[in-house]
Amino acid sequence: MSTQGLHVEIDPSAGFCFGVAAAVGKAEATLKETGNLHCVGQLLHNTHEIRRLEVMGLRTISHEKLPEMTGYSVLFRAHGEPPGSYEMSRLSGARLVDATCPVVKKLQERVKKSHERGETIIIYGKPGHPEVAGIVGQINGDAIVADRPETLSPEVLPEKLTLYSQTTMPVEGLRNLARWLEKYGKEVKLHNTVCRRVTDRVKEVEQFARTKDVILFVGGKNSSNSRYLFNICRQVNPRTQFIEDPGEVQSKWFRSGDRVGVTGGTSTPVWLLEETAGAVPG
């Protein structure tokens, strides 16, 4: 596609990851059937996609509202939930639509088994993140959560540790944390539980950014995945711009004949990338 000498291409590998796509699909199917659906927490970190689903009848609720959902359909998003949420849903009599990502569910099961073996567990992840809350909830909070080594005190940690990762964290950060612990003499049983799709997406975004003069990265400002992938793009292509909305595209970003690439995070819908490509001056 050419506009005023600009050649615009949408990243063919961009769009929802499997877990988000499945969650959105379940939400759409339920909304078409019932006309209403209550999601516990924000379904995904993209305001445009949330608005689209809200028009169909989606509502976002807090965990505190679960006991009031008698007779309603309730969605558990791809991030996963702790056992207490399932119990509250059951007691309320809500119709549960469980959209927990299979990769997250497998991680929860692995952490539970490690805990049953009496292992000291460290989760490499963002404290307070909903996925992390769901993971540590499997073992009654009996885990250490850290997103960087400086938050840990090696002198109070046992000699043997089991290390897992939130599925959306950078794999190099997980390895760095393991090396840091080993530097202090710890024996680390490392489980690389970063989602393979997240790892692959890093390589794809990096390669795509190298082939373009300008990158328009579309994502939610509150999406850690989008921010992480945006920084990957900017490292290899300084002319990378982060936007949430096609209306933010500015003509001053482009030069005659530029090859413009449009890409996004794993919670950015393809339709929004297409609208962004259409907003490039022409």
DSSP 171-208: HHHHHHHHHHHHHTT-EEEE---S-HHHHHHHHHHHHH
From 49, 81, 131, 244, active-site residue? 131
Active site includes 131? yes
Contact 217, 178 (CB under 8 A): no
Strand partners, 9: 261
Q: CA–CA separation, 246 vs 188, rounded Å?
A: 46
DSSP 9-78: EE-TT-S--HHHHHHHHHHHHHHHHHS-EEEES-SSS-HHHHHHHHHHTEEEE-GGGGGG-TTSEEEE-T
Contact 58, 31 (CB under 8 A): yes
DSSP state letter for 152: -
Q: Any idea which residue has 């990338």 for tokens?
A: 273
Closest CA to 6 of 235, 249, 259, 237: 259
Q: Are strands 160-165 and 187-190 parallel, antiparallel or unpaired?
A: parallel
Distance, CA of 271 to chain centre = 18
List, by residue number, the catalytic residues: 131
